[in-house]
Amino acid sequence: KAGVTQTPRYLIKTRGQQVTLSCSPISGHRSVSWYQQTPGQGLQFLFEYFSETQRNKGNFPGRFSGRQFSNSRSEMNVSTLELGDSALYLCASSLATFGELFFGEGSRLTVL
Amino acid sequence: DAKTTQPNSMESNEEEPVHLPCNHSTISGTDYIHWYRQLPSQGPEYVIHGLTSNVNNRMASLAIAEDRKSSTLILHRATLRDAAVYYCIENRDDKIIFGKGTRLHILP
């Protein structure tokens, strides 16, 4: 079966812009979680959605937001981009909240 | 936040067993211990998880200390494809907390 698909894979933005990243989970998975990975901070949990509801949120500013649609696809948005937002953004899907997580390959965001 | 500590890096010879340690000193009684690994240029992949008892699957074994403050991921026969960053993580209050991970080098 198809894995977790993230789009776009690579993108470049400038400071102050906003960005939207998309994640299509494995068919049948209702939980989608998002992570930021940087060399300095490692992998950090952003938030988790289950059946269109945000159930958990990490320690990120309000500029980071997300949503989940009825087909379980999820988007995350970062507004007013800062240089420090440059990172690999990973999403993961699972059958249940934090069951076995299946990760996508990530979207690599560069902020100039 | 939950804290896990792991060695930054480890080396092992190919076809030998590897024991990857993790300390999770703040773990509570209901937190599961998960292990994931991340191969170069890929997202993390699930390896194994457990609560109290030792666990085995086709990829690895997980040995959990009696007080649950530490665990050890065991790769029984390392191959070059096992070279990756291994993360021991806690699931607390429905948040997944990743540590810095251990970079495992496999020597041919």
Cβ of residue A40 closer than 8 Å to a chain B Cβ: no
Which chain B positions have a beta carbon within 8 Å of A21's beta carbon? Answer: none
Q: How many residues does chain B have?
A: 108
State the CB neighbour count (10 A cutoff) for residue A28. 9
Cβ-based neighbours of B66, under 8 Å, separated by 6 or more: none
Cβ of residue A39 closer than 8 Å to a chain B Cβ: no
* Candidate from A43, A100, A105 with C-beta closest to B42: A105
Tens-digit pLDDT profile for residues A75-104: 999 999 999 999 999 999 998 776 789 999
Question: Which of the residues in chain A have pLDDT under 50?
Answer: none
Whether residue B1 is predicted with pLDDT greater than 60 in this model: the reply is: no
Whether residue B94 is predicted with pLDDT greater than 70 in this model: the reply is: no
pLDDT tier at B93, thresholds 50, 70, 90: low
Peptide bond into A8 cis (omega under 30): yes
* Candidate from A42, A48, A90 with C-beta closest to B100: A42
Tens-digit pLDDT profile for residues B19-64: 999 998 777 777 888 999 999 889 999 999 998 889 999 889 999 9
Amino acid in position B7? P
